[in-house]
Amino acid sequence: MTAISVTVNGRPHTAQVEPRRLLVDFLREDLGLVGTHIGCEHGVCGTCTVLLDGRSIRSCITLAVQADGAEISTVEGLADGAELHPLQDEFSEKQGLQCGYCTPGMLMRASEILAGNPDPSPAEVREAIASNLCRCTGYQFIVEAVLGAAERMRAEKETAS
Amino acid sequence: MKPPPFDYAAPTTLDEAIGLLAEHAGAEARVLAGGQSLIPMMNFRLAKPGYLVDLRRVAGLAGIRREGDTLVIGAMTRMAEVERSPEVAVAAPLVTEAIGLVAHVPVRNSGTVGGSLAHADPAAELPAVVLALDAKLVAAGPGGTRTIPAGEFFTGPYGTALAPEEILTEVRLPVWPGGHAFTEFSRIHANFAVVAVAALVDADGDRIRRASVALAGVGPTPVRAHSAERALLGTSGDAETIRRAAQLAAADLSPAGDLHASAETRLTLAQVYLRRGLELAVSRARNER
């Protein structure tokens, strides 16, 4: 067992983990944060995407021990209490999901995209979410949801400043 | 699936890391860089190292710096960092262009330059890049450090000149003054290439004075296309010369067919992408002046 300290959605955690513990299993099994889904388990589908120090990673091909000392953000950290994050709201509004299996990964990847580029073009969103597979929607409504969220987040920022 | 059990250490110095590799050689100890190839292989149980030496805390292995006519990239530098680096875009735009084709952003956020090179997938982009650039790879082992020319580094599919207790520490890329191009065919965007071409051309006036071309996906290791390079020298790099150079280079290749593409398909793709890569590199070499 190896000792690790991580901050997940702002809350510090220390734990003893087996070195072979995948980060996604640490989040789901040890911390009970089951919002992050497990799909392919070899880094292809993207549903396990979380942010590690602000950058998207595949938590199914990352060991928990590799995250020692890092700040992790998962889908559970997006909403502000009962108030949904604009991305979550737009995915709901625009029907950017059907079965919802890919949604946590899509949301986390989209939050990274918008942090780096608040005003992406539809083509840029398509290119950026190519890392995450969705078998239901055909991506159309996901792209619209991300663009809708970008617009709202820009408007909110403008109001705030 | 989940990785099989293994022991683990995250040392803070290179000497410690090398010592651990030597000490746990019997357990088939392996280096863990970003893990973006190794961990999927362990999930599939295709790799079962009994001991992992994680390099993420070893000081001095990550970073990008310019030393005169050489660009030095530390082995633990994340691909995404290299992709975003203005210094790399100026000194080695071939690297920037190739990295944009390596998997997706989340993989590039974790995956490292040294990891990709030491993994030595015959269809990977960076091995072809370092081969075309005649880069030097620096390895540290129990006996000190040594420099391995890219042309001697790749020994077979997933095989390198590194000894089991040696660690790749940095890659030294000569700055190429002319035009560059990285082109590839893959069935799905961001998949491994079926065939990839790294092309470099330097022109003096209208005459090509230097050319360097490497391919991935057409053999057990990345290969240089020397006959194409020779065919271009002293010419203006016109369409007919490029077509012939691509033909000559393809004639030297003997790719194996697999489930991704037959040998015939790979040969045809190699010619087409050699032509496209050389045309782009020549036109960029001309605009450079």
ipTM for the predicted complex comes to 0.96
- Written as six digits, the tokens of B214 are 């490497």
Residue A20 in contact with partner chain B when CB distance is under 8 A? yes
* A interface test, pick of B109, B121, B187, B189 with most A CB neighbours within 10 Å: B109
Q: Across residues B248-257, what is the average pLDDT? A: 94
* Partners of residue A112 in chain B, C-beta under 8 Å: 105
Which of the residues in chain A have pLDDT under 50?
none
Residue A129 in contact with partner chain B when CB distance is under 8 A? no
In angstroms, rounded to a whole number, what is the distance separating the alpha carbons of residues B233 and B242? Answer: 11
Contacts of B93 (CB under 8 A, 6+ apart): B180
Average pLDDT over chain B, rounded to whole?
A: 96
3-state secondary structure of A80: strand
Contact B105 A61 (CB under 8 A): no
Same fold, A2-77 and A86-160: no
* Partners of residue B56 in chain A, C-beta under 8 Å: 66
Q: Across residues B216-238, what is the average pLDDT? A: 97
Q: Across residues B48-66, what is the average pLDDT? A: 97
In tens, the pLDDT along A62-101 reads 999 999 999 999 999 999 999 999 999 999 999 999 999 9
- pLDDT level of residue B90 (50, 70, 90 thresholds): very high
Using the predicted structure, report yes or no on whether residue B289 has a pLDDT greater than 60.
no
Q: Across residues B262-288, what is the average pLDDT? A: 95
Using the predicted structure, report yes or no on whether residue B38 has a pLDDT greater than 70.
yes
Q: Across residues B238-259, what is the average pLDDT? A: 95
In angstroms, rounded to a whole number, what is the distance separating the alpha carbons of residues A118 and A158? Answer: 12
Which string of DSSP letters, residue by residue, matches A82-99?
TBPPHHHHHHHHTT--SS
Residue A56 in contact with partner chain B when CB distance is under 8 A? yes
Using the predicted structure, report yes or no on whether residue B287 has a pLDDT greater than 90.
no
**B192 Cα to chain A: minimum distance (Å):** 12
**A118 Cα to chain B: minimum distance (Å):** 17
Q: At what angle do helices B263-288 and B239-251 cross, to 10 degrees?
A: 140
In tens, the pLDDT along B154-203 reads 999 999 999 999 999 999 999 999 999 999 999 888 888 999 999 999 99
| B48 close to B4: Cβ distance less than 8 angstroms | yes
In tens, the pLDDT along B1-17 reads 899 999 999 999 999 99
- pLDDT level of residue B288 (50, 70, 90 thresholds): low
Question: Quick one: DSSP state of residue A63?
Answer: B
Alpha helices (H) in chain A, listed in sequence order: 23-25, 86-93, 103-116, 122-128, 140-160
- Written as six digits, the tokens of B257 are 């067919």
Q: Across residues B50-74, what is the average pLDDT? A: 97
Q: What angle do CA A69, A71, A75 make, to 5 degrees?
A: 145
**Nearest residue of chain A to residue B188 (CA atoms):** A130
- Written as six digits, the tokens of B41 are 């292989």
* Partners of residue B10 in chain A, C-beta under 8 Å: 65, 68
* Partners of residue A43 in chain B, C-beta under 8 Å: 36, 39-40, 107
* Partners of residue A56 in chain B, C-beta under 8 Å: 105-106, 109
* Partners of residue A114 in chain B, C-beta under 8 Å: none
- pLDDT level of residue B81 (50, 70, 90 thresholds): very high
In tens, the pLDDT along B111-134 reads 999 999 999 999 999 999 999 999
Contacts of A47 (CB under 8 A, 6+ apart): A37, A38, A39, A101, A102, A104, A105, A132, A133
From the list B6, B32, B106, which residue is nearest A57 (CB)?
A: B106
**A145 Cα to chain B: minimum distance (Å):** 20
CATH of domain A2-77: 3.10.20.30
Q: What is the pLDDT of residue A160?
A: 86
**B83 Cα to chain A: minimum distance (Å):** 14
- What are the distances in angstroms from CA B47 to CA A13, A140, B18, B33, B283? 31, 38, 20, 15, 44
Contact A42 B35 (CB under 8 A): no
Domain ranges of chain A: 2-77, 86-160
**B169 Cα to chain A: minimum distance (Å):** 19
Residue A111 in contact with partner chain B when CB distance is under 8 A? no
Q: Would residue B273 be called left, alpha or beta, if left means φ above 0 and alpha means ψ between -120 and 50 degrees?
A: alpha
Q: What is the pLDDT of residue A149?
A: 98
Fold designation for A86-160: DNA polymerase; domain 1 (1.10.150)
Alpha helices (H) in chain B, listed in sequence order: 14-23, 38-43, 79-84, 86-91, 93-99, 105-110, 113-119, 125-132, 150-153, 226-232, 239-251, 263-288
Strand B7-9's sheet: what is its strand order?
A: B7-9, B51-54, B30-32
Picking from B105, B146, B91, B153, the residue whose alpha carbon sits closest to that of residue B128 is B153
**B43 Cα to chain A: minimum distance (Å):** 7
